[in-house]
């Protein structure tokens, strides 16, 4: 009898120790150890009571054995709650309230026994239901056992893992059989020696059943236990995580690589030591869906010193013999050296690109300086041209005034004609110089528009009416029409005048006596449309592609009587585009020509509107008309 109790007690302790050895950090394992220790304590104290030298000693050890006896139903219920992953954490402490009350009552008096007798084996208690405490204790034990059976049953129904379903079925069957055996031994009127042997027999059956479950189904080893020593030590990185991402195994080289003590990194989340949480989660989801990993992927890990470690890793799933996922295995190689070489190559390439960029910037700077010098040179040349021309033009104006006042001078008509020719050709030179300088400044990016909020309707109308008198002298009729009476937009009035004068000058050149020139304005959505149209000779389709090219003229035969350099329309196109607009041409040979300018309808913030008549003075406009129309001969 004593040997049987000793073997059972030792077996329970060894079973509990084995559970701790598998995973001491796992709560299920720790609870199973407490359960085994409780049973061993119960059997040892019970054995001492049986072999007590007298009745008084028996009662002392019986009361001591009542402590694990009262705790057992609550402890096994707690064990099954945690094993089945029931979410009753706040309820767990309440499980131990009844055992505390019954332990107190047992130590204070007698809980389940009325008397004690002695047999050939030893002392045994005579149990009679004689007190309310005895009845309450039986209700407590049966209710907790019934609740445990319900927990196991629900666990087996709800889990999707084959391993857990098998564990549930086995535990449920074993628990029910053991409970029935215990009840039979408790109820049936057995010989005294059998009554004494009841506890060791039940405990032996309990150890055999639970022990088999531990070894067969790994009920306690809920995380994979892989012998790292059998894996080649030369692997740079080897990590095993459970389904929650917690690290459960790691080789020494990995711990050294990540600068963690081996025992400190166990239990940490893989996501705490990696910068690729989303990548790991996505890949694990693929593995769960049956994805086969046939290639390595790059992961970045963080050492304890917050340094980065780059690794080429193969990630695979670990399954038990039932096909349930136990965890995931990371096996990889440290590629820090490769990354360092890549970084050095990148830095060298970046350095070379930087040197090239510096050379390009230096070259651009020289080009800008050259363009600036070129612009200054042409400005000086322009000044040198304009100064004598202005003197000549001013002198001719004074001489013309003198001739008009002295009409009696001989051959005055010829003199006036000659002064007009000289003045017109002087304006032609000014116009040519202006166009050349404009082209150079546009190419060099030196032209800046002075945007103001201006009434575009009044501006274009004033320019058109200013040219009307001149056009009538040339036998042309100019008509102006608008769909809207006023429209304020952001533009450069000086450049708009330049555009309209150039287009009107072209219209007069390419029309004959009694031809019409139309200038109209309309608004379409968020744009202002300015159209300059004539009924002249038009431009052939084959020539329309070159009218905006520099130094090209649409019809060389027509322009022989109307001189020009062929850069006016090129400047017009550039000025329109600087307004973020477009210019198009529509023409049929001998059916007239139409230039369509589109300018966006927008305004400049925080600027007062100005009147078009203020933007350009009358004297300046007359002067500009004379210059712009200087290459049109009578």
Encode pLDDT of 15-48 as tens digits: 888 878 877 777 888 888 888 888 888 888 878 8
Mean pLDDT of 424-453: 82
Under the banding of pLDDT at 50, 70 and 90, the label for residue 262 is confident
pLDDT for 381 equals 76
Task: Decide which of 319 and 555 is more confident.
Answer: 319
Nearest Cα to 171, choosing from 137, 220, 138, 225?
Answer: 220
pTM of the model: 0.44
Task: Decide which of 599 and 232 is more confident.
Answer: 599
pLDDT for 227 equals 43
pLDDT in tens, 464-516: 998 888 888 888 999 999 999 999 999 999 999 999 999 998 898 888 888 89
Under the banding of pLDDT at 50, 70 and 90, the label for residue 122 is low
Flag whether pLDDT at 562 surpasses 80: no
Tokens of 41: 């304590």
pLDDT for 558 equals 47
Mean pLDDT of 247-271: 88
Flag whether pLDDT at 218 surpasses 70: no
Least confident range from 71-80, 385-394, 435-444, 615-624: namely 615-624
* Local structure of residue 220 (DSSP, 8 states): S
Under the banding of pLDDT at 50, 70 and 90, the label for residue 594 is very high
Flag whether pLDDT at 362 surpasses 80: yes
Flag whether pLDDT at 455 surpasses 90: yes
pLDDT in tens, 329-350: 888 888 888 888 888 888 888 8
Rounded distance, CA 521 to CA 79, Å?
91
Task: Decide which of 491 and 589 is more confident.
Answer: 491
pLDDT in tens, 177-200: 777 776 666 655 444 444 555 666
Tokens of 433: 């110089």
Mean pLDDT of 399-410: 83
Flag whether pLDDT at 224 surpasses 50: no
Rounded distance, CA 337 to CA 339, Å?
5
Q: Confirm or reject CATH 2.40.50.140 for domain 448-628, answering yes or no.
A: no
Flag whether pLDDT at 586 surpasses 70: yes
Mean pLDDT of 367-379: 78
Maximum mean pLDDT: which of 145-149, 240-244, 577-581: 577-581
Maximum mean pLDDT: which of 118-132, 344-358, 550-564: 344-358
Under the banding of pLDDT at 50, 70 and 90, the label for residue 222 is very low
Q: Confirm or reject CATH 3.40.50.410 for domain 228-334, answering yes or no.
A: no
Domain map (residue ranges) of the chain: 2-217, 228-334, 342-420, 448-628
Residue-wise burial string across 42-59, b where 16 or more C-beta atoms lie within 10 A, e elsewhere: bbbbbbbbbebeeeeebb
Give 107-162 as a DSSP string.
HHS-SSEEEEEE-SS-EEEEE---SHHHHHHHHHHHHHHHHHHHHHHHHHHH---H
pLDDT for 201 equals 65
pLDDT for 459 equals 94
Mean pLDDT of 539-546: 84
> Would you mind telling me the total number of residues written for the chain in this entry?
634
479 half-sphere exposure, CB direction, 13 A CA radius: 10
Bridge partners for 97 per DSSP = none
Work out the mean pLDDT of the chain and round it to a whole number.
Answer: 80
Decide the pairing of beta strands 237-241 and 247-250: antiparallel
Least confident range from 88-97, 217-226, 247-256: namely 217-226
Bridge partners for 118 per DSSP = 123
> What's the CATH code, domain 2-217?
1.20.1070.10
Torsional sign, CA 45, 49, 51, 57:
positive
pLDDT for 426 equals 83
Task: Decide which of 24 and 603 is more confident.
Answer: 603
Mean pLDDT of 124-146: 75
Flag whether pLDDT at 452 surpasses 60: yes
pLDDT for 528 equals 96
Mean pLDDT of 560-569: 62
pLDDT for 561 equals 46
pLDDT for 557 equals 40
pLDDT for 228 equals 43
Rounded distance, CA 105 to CA 131, Å?
12
Mean pLDDT of 557-582: 75
Under the banding of pLDDT at 50, 70 and 90, the label for residue 612 is very low
pLDDT for 495 equals 92
Q: What percent of the chain has pLDDT over 70?
A: 80
- SS3 call for 326: strand
């Amino acid at each position: 009898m004593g040997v049987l109790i000793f073997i059972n007690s030792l077996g329970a302790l060894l079973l509990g120790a084995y559970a701790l050895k598998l995973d001491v950090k796992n709560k299920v394992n720790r609870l199973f150890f407490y359960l085994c220790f409780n049973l061993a304590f119960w059997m040892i104290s019970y054995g001492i009571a049986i072999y007590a030298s007298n009745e008084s000693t028996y009662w002392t050890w019986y009361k001591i054995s009542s402590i694990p006896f009262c705790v057992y139903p609550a402890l096994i219920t707690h064990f099954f709650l945690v094993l089945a992953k029931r979410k009753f954490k706040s309820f767990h402490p309440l499980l131990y309230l009844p055992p505390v009350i019954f332990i107190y009552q047992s130590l204070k008096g007698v809980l389940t026994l009325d008397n004690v007798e002695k047999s050939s084996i030893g002392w045994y208690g005579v149990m009679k239901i004689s007190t309310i405490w005895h009845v309450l204790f039986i209700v407590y034990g049966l209710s907790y056992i019934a609740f445990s059976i319900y927990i196991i049953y629900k666990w087996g129904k709800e889990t999707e893992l084959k391993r857990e379903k098998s564990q549930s079925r086995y535990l449920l069957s074993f628990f029910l059989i053991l409970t029935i055996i215990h009840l039979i031994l408790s109820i049936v009127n057995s010989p005294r020696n059998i009554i004494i042997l009841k506890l060791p027999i039940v405990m032996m059956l309990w150890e055999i059943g639970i022990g088999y479950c531990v070894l067969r189904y790994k009920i306690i080893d809920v995380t994979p236990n892989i012998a790292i020593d059998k894996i080649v030590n030369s692997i740079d990185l080897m990590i095993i995580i459970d389904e929650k991402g917690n690290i459960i195994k790691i080789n020494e080289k990995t711990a050294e690589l990540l600068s963690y003590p081996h025992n400190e990194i166990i239990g940490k989340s893989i996501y705490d030591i990696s910068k690729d949480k989303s990548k790991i989660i996505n890949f694990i989801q693929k593995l769960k869906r049956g994805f086969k990993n046939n290639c390595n992927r790059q992961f970045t890990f963080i050492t304890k010193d917050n340094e980065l470690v780059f690794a080429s890793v193969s990630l695979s799933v670990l399954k038990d013999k039932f096909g349930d996922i136990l965890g995931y295995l990371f096996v990889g190689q440290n590629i820090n050296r490769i990354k360092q070489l890549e970084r050095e190559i990148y830095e060298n390439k970046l350095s070379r690109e930087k040197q090239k960029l510096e050379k390009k910037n230096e070259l651009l700077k020289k080009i800008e300086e050259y363009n600036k010098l070129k612009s200054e040179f042409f400005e000086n040349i322009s000044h040198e041209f304009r100064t004598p021309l202005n003197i000549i033009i001013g002198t001719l104006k004074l001489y013309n005034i003198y001739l008009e006042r002295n009409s009696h001078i001989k051959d005055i008509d010829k003199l006036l004609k000659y002064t007009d020719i000289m003045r017109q050709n002087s304006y032609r030179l000014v116009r040519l110089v202006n166009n050349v300088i404009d082209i150079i400044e546009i190419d060099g990016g030196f032209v800046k528009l002075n945007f103001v909020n201006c009434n575009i309707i009044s501006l274009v109308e004033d320019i058109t009416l200013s040219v009307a008198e001149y056009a009538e002298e040339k036998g042309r009729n100019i008509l102006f029409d608008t769909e809207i009476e006023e429209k304020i937009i952001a533009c450069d009035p000086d450049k708009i005048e330049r555009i309209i004068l150039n287009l009107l000058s072209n219209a007069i050149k390419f029309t004959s006596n009694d031809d019409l020139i139309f200038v109209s304005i309309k608004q379409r959505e968020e744009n202002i449309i300015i159209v300059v149209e004539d009924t002249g000779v038009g431009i052939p389709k084959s020539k329309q592609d070159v009218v905006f090219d520099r130094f090209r003229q649409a019809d060389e035969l027509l322009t022989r009587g109307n001189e020009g350099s062929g850069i006016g329309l090129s400047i017009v196109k550039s000025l329109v585009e600087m307004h973020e607009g477009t210019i198009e041409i529509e023409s049929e040979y001998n059916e007239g020509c139409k230039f369509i300018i589109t300018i966006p309808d927008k305004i400049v913030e925080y600027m007062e509107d100005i009147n078009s008549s203020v933007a350009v003075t009358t004297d300046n406009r007359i002067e500009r008309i004379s210059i712009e129309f200087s290459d049109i001969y009578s």
